Chains A and B, each alone.
Chain A
Amino acid sequence: GENVEQHPSTLSVQEGDSAVIKCTYSDSASNYFPWYKQELGKRPQLIIDIRSNVGEKKDQRIAVTLNKTAKHFSLHITETQPEDSAVYFCAASRSGGYNKLIFGAGTRLAVHP
């Protein structure tokens, strides 16, 4: 069935370093790829998304890249700050239809001052 693999499961960086989280999806018909940030006890928050007609998208310190051929997409966070510490979930879905999001297992990012 449809699957999204996410790596690493935990990531520890020093403040100011970059962080990269990678996801691989199995459904070649997937064309929408959101990233959610979930702080402890809070709701998942959509931080950036990309559609399959775009290879890269940036929003300040956050960027997402998509390689459709390899069915990979990645989240890049530059100049990390302690407030970036959270669990990050990638997801994939087909737009149209009922937009069922298939989530990765999550990456726990810790940014140390």
Chain B
Amino acid sequence: DTEVTQTPKHLVMGMTNKKSLKCEQHMGHRAMYWYKQKAKKPPELMFVYSYEKLSINESVPSRFSPECPNSSLLNLHLHALQPEDSALYLCASSPTTGNEQFFGPGTRLTVL
């Protein structure tokens, strides 16, 4: 398996909902990332996990909560989001933190 997968592809949620985004890779990569991408903008880094430990939190609001249950899985738990959080959420992985990053297809999130 040479791809990063993400579920769901699309998600619509209300501001009071709790939902989770999932990311999976089976390439043996030890670094995983969450990015947020708004239309016509580059990906914006949110979190970095290295060897299942949170390495970077780019001052992301606490309504976004990442989790790395094991070396293949990365979750992003969402709670009390705002409409401005609507975006494409991309997961990426790399062999270690010093190498090329490979992106998943993303989850398109709409917050109503």
Contact = CB atoms under 8 A, between A and B. Distances in A.
Contacts of A96: 97-98
Interface stretch (B14-22, B41-49, B65-73): B41-49
B82 interface: no
B98 A95 contact: yes
B103 interface: yes
A55 B19 CA distance: 46
13 contacts: A43-B104, A43-B105, A46-B100, A46-B103, A95-B98, A97-B97, A98-B50, A99-B94, A99-B99, A100-B45, A103-B43, A105-B42, A106-B40
Interface of A: 32, 34, 36, 42-46, 49, 87, 89, 91, 95-101, 103-106
Contacts, number: 57
B101 A99 contact: yes
Nearest to A87: B40
Query: Considering the complex of A and B, which 6 residue pairs feature the smallest CB-CB distances, nearest first?
Result: A103-B42, A95-B98, A99-B97, A43-B103, A96-B98, A98-B97
Interface in B22-65: 31, 40-43, 45, 48, 50, 55-56
B6 to A, nearest CB: 9
A36 B42 CA distance: 10
B90 A44 contact: yes
Contacts of B103: 36, 43-46
A97 B96 CA distance: 9
A87 B98 CA distance: 25
